[in-house]
């Protein structure tokens, strides 16, 4: 009965100095991960045929710079909240 699409952003903190933060932004379609951005890898990686297509396009476009900006804004910006919990 239709299609299901969602994304999940995860920040992984390994130390308080903010140098070891890893951001993972995963995109799912019908419960299958199609494409993922991993800040440690520094680019999008596709896991399905459609995901490979998206990854190639997004790695060449403004989406890549946007993800790197999110690492700074979202993950590093919320590190104090994470460590206070």
What pLDDT is stored for residue 43 in this prediction?
A: 96
Three-point CA angle 60, 37, 15, nearest 5°: 130
**Residue 32, beta-bridge partner list:** 29
DSSP secondary structure code for residue 47 in this structure:
S
| Per-residue pLDDT band at 80 (split at 50, 70, 90) | confident
Say how far apart CA 85 and CA 82 lie, in whole Å.
6
Rg (CA), the chain: 14
**The overall pTM is greater than 0.75:** yes
Tokens of 40: 């440690």
> Under a CB-based contact definition with an 8 Å cutoff, are residues 46 and 55 in contact?
yes
The domains of the chain, with CATH numbers, are 5-84 (3.10.320.10)
pLDDT in tens, 11-46: 988 777 777 889 999 999 999 999 999 999 999 999
């Amino acid at each position: 009965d239709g299609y299901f699409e969602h994304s999940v952003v995860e920040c992984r903190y390994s130390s308080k100095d903010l140098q070891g933060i890893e951001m993972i932004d995963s995109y799912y379609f019908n419960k299958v991960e199609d494409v993922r951005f991993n800040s440690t890898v520094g680019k999008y990686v596709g896991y399905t045929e459609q995901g490979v297509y998206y990854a190639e396009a997004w790695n060449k476009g403004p989406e890549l710079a946007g993800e790197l900006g999110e690492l700074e804004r979202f993950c590093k910006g919320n590190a104090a909240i994470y460590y206070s919990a």
